[in-house]
Structure 1
């Protein structure tokens, strides 16, 4: 995973270099490097027909804080820098942090099994899947897309908490726990239930008291509770047209893809991670292990011909919404990108790589 990302980012930077050359200013009008960078980013955003918000910070300095409106649909609703977005699977990073905090407190152990942790979850593999497997997406438990009829909104709408758990219990493992990697929302849905059981309160309250309130993330909440005023999701069809499709029964994404937030709040979260306010040393060693990370990805980003910087990042995708946060710890840098018109995951990575190179690509 790590090496594949490095290759993809390197290719991205080459492609973005072409964009920058095409946007070169007239030689007769002297321009700063910052102006040239801004032109390159603007050109890329225009090429992508990007709609959403972007924020870049270095320490306490905000380098870019901008809302971009591409009007993907006639009479489409615009966004501002303060608009909230569903952050989809970026939720997993918060859930993992809560679980690792409970491990630090001795309330959980990474080698505990599902049979111990959720004794009412009646599956034949309960004694084989551990907390560590769930956090690493190495349990072998299938993803939501393996649920029969998952892409039928009427099926999703009909689920209750009980019937959904019954359905999850019918899913069969894809492989023996720990043997391989498989991205699965089920893992993190179960982790939220574990937080319910062992934190002394429910998942939402524990998240609020341990992360959201201490970091003053006042615009952050849950899609099933705090959906007012969110950016409209413009889902792009194969023919290039857009449609708005509601997120049905969002509580099904609890703990795995349910959070909503803003660029400013996620910037605060990113710096808290960099500053060591979220993870203990032991927890950070688990979460940011390059081979088996927990709701993060770790890589080296080539920012010049002779220099790489380490980046930690994670993304989310949910029915037209895309989110991405990239941390550049050695530069105390955070990049947040939130999108609401299906610009594409690879393009989000491309944009983040461009912004990281331009803002954190200086010499040591």
Structure 2
């Protein structure tokens, strides 16, 4: 694969719908990092490096592959040992969608109806997302991250240093984390077929605000209400916001 042709299999700036069938590969083969590579090849470069910001799912899959090759360990094992175990996350993991335990929520495409996302997403998530979390574990994750139990204080400082202002999202971006545009809040969020969530950490008060939804749009109205109640502390851009 030509390194200059690595692109994003999901163009978040495009006109597609959240429940589109976007993968060119059978989803059941997308269980390990290397399997994603054919889906990332052959995309034109959007713009010269450093010119502007554009979130790239494919870039995080490549990052996962680099982590595997540097460490000599599988990406999912790395996350388990270097993140979950260090943070004490007992209810979170990269699960296979065709082998879910009884306490894992199915992801539904719509608020009404029974269609799940099993035919829309890789059978197992990877560097660009797809991990199953509990709200309690997200609070534990933020505690561990900010207390230096996952990465060093120096690395954390680089992760939360603003690199791009993203007005369209009403946020800034660091390294792997969204940042509040006018405050110090740290933000993780996900939006995909059958999944919607945001977890915001307010460092000064060690407060975590997390909304998890097991449908494509389910979490956003709650996040809107919380944002209004908190006077913009966790305000951001949502799928239907103009």
The TM-score with structure 1 as length reference comes to 0.51
CA contact (8 A) 2:187 2:198 kept: yes
Deviations along 1:225-283, one digit per CA (max 9) or x if unpaired, are 762232132322xxx74442233462564111121111111110012223233332321
Deviations along 1:53-74, one digit per CA (max 9) or x if unpaired, are xxxxxxxxxxxxxxxxxxxxxx
Report the number of matched residues. Answer: 213
Structure with greater helix share of residues? 1
Provide closer, same or farther for how the CA distance between residues 157 and 355 of structure 1 changes in structure 2, counting only shifts above 3 A: farther
Counterpart in the other structure of 2:217:
343
Counterpart in the other structure of 1:211:
83
Deviations along 1:91-119, one digit per CA (max 9) or x if unpaired, are xxxxxxxxxxxxxxxxxxxxxxxxxxxxx
Counterpart in the other structure of 2:122:
250
- 1:185 CA displacement: 0.9
The aligned runs of 1:1-364 (5 Å cut-off) are 122-123=1-2, 125=4, 142-145=7-10, 151-152=20-21, 155-157=24-26, 160=29, 164-224=36-96, 227-229=100-102, 230-236=104-110, 241-248=112-119, 250-251=122-123, 253-292=125-164, 293-299=174-180, 310-343=184-217, 346-354=220-228, 356=230
Deviations along 1:169-212, one digit per CA (max 9) or x if unpaired, are 21221111221211111001111111110113211112111111
CA contact (8 A) 1:145 1:151 kept: no
Give, in whole Å, the separation in 2 of the partners of 1:325 and 1:227. 23
Q: CA RMSD in A?
A: 3.3
Choose 1 or 2 for highest CA Rg: 1
CA contact (8 A) 1:189 1:253 kept: no
Q: Which moved more, 1:259-268 or 1:155-164?
A: 155-164
The TM-score with structure 2 as length reference comes to 0.73
Bigger relative contact order (CA 8 A; separation at least 6)? 1
CA contact (8 A) 1:218 1:265 kept: yes
Deviations along 1:28-80, one digit per CA (max 9) or x if unpaired, are xxxxxxxxxxxxxxxxxxxxxxxxxxxxxxxxxxxxxxxxxxxxxxxxxxxxx
CA contact (8 A) 2:108 2:114 kept: yes
Q: Secondary structure at 1:317's aligned position in 2?
A: strand
Q: Secondary structure at 1:235's aligned position in 2?
A: coil
Provide closer, same or farther for how the CA distance between residues 337 and 345 of structure 1 changes in structure 2, counting only shifts above 3 A: closer
- 1:284 CA displacement: 1.9
Give, in whole Å, the separation in 1 of the partners of 2:68 and 2:185. 32
